[in-house]
Amino acid sequence: MGAQGLGAIRPLRVGVRKPYESFPVRPLAAFKQDQTEWRPVLNVRLGRKHAQAGPWFKAIVDTGSQFCLFRADLGAMLGIDVRSGTADDICGVVGGSGEPAYFHRINLYIEHDWIVEVDVGFVFGLGSSRQLCTAAP
């Protein structure tokens, strides 16, 4: 997607301090003792055009990702025909079979302070721990 998917974003010169939150994880063989992991989280909601925005929920911030990903049911809740979006296969750091993300332009409301028009990917099956991103209402 690159910079053209960012819409009308101007650099923000405002800092936001947010505490990390703990999430339960499925233990991996190498980290059997880990039952939680700490992630940065923002309160967000999604909206589309002039329609009422959806409910607020917590979204994990993945600072290494080049785009925002959300569960497909969140897009459907906005009345979006998710599969009608621009499809692109995505995958994590380790190569392998990708999962299609369907990109749509939406309004992303961030922490009651900002509204950003941005292209986001909606993914079916997204939401389990240790994936690229999770967002749960």
* 42-56 pLDDT per residue, tens: 999 999 987 788 899
Architecture of the domain delimited by 2-136: Beta Barrel (2.40)
Higher pLDDT, 52 or 122: 122
What is the rounded distance in angstroms from the CA atom of residue 111 to the CA atom of residue 45? Answer: 9
Residue-wise burial string across 104-135, b where 16 or more C-beta atoms lie within 10 A, e elsewhere: bebbbbeeeeeebebbbbbbeebbeeeebbbb
* Residue 74 · residue 54 · CB < 8 Å: yes
Q: What is the pLDDT of residue 83?
A: 97
Is the predicted pLDDT of residue 32 greater than 90, yes or no? no
Q: So where are the chain's domains? A: 2-136
Report pTM: 0.74
Query: How many of the other CB atoms lie within 10 Å of CB of 96?
Result: 6
Is the predicted pLDDT of residue 3 greater than 60, yes or no? no
Is the predicted pLDDT of residue 5 greater than 80, yes or no? no
* Residue 39 · residue 102 · CB < 8 Å: no
Q: What is the pLDDT of residue 92?
A: 65
Convert the pLDDT of each residue in 67-121 to its tens digit: 899 999 999 999 999 999 999 988 765 555 678 999 999 999 999 878 999 999 9
- Of the pLDDT bands very low, low, confident and very high (cuts 50, 70, 90), residue 130 is very low
Q: Phi/psi class of residue 111: alpha, beta or left (left: φ > 0; alpha: ψ in -120 to 50)?
A: left
Give the single-character DSSP code of 52.
P
Higher pLDDT, 133 or 52: 52
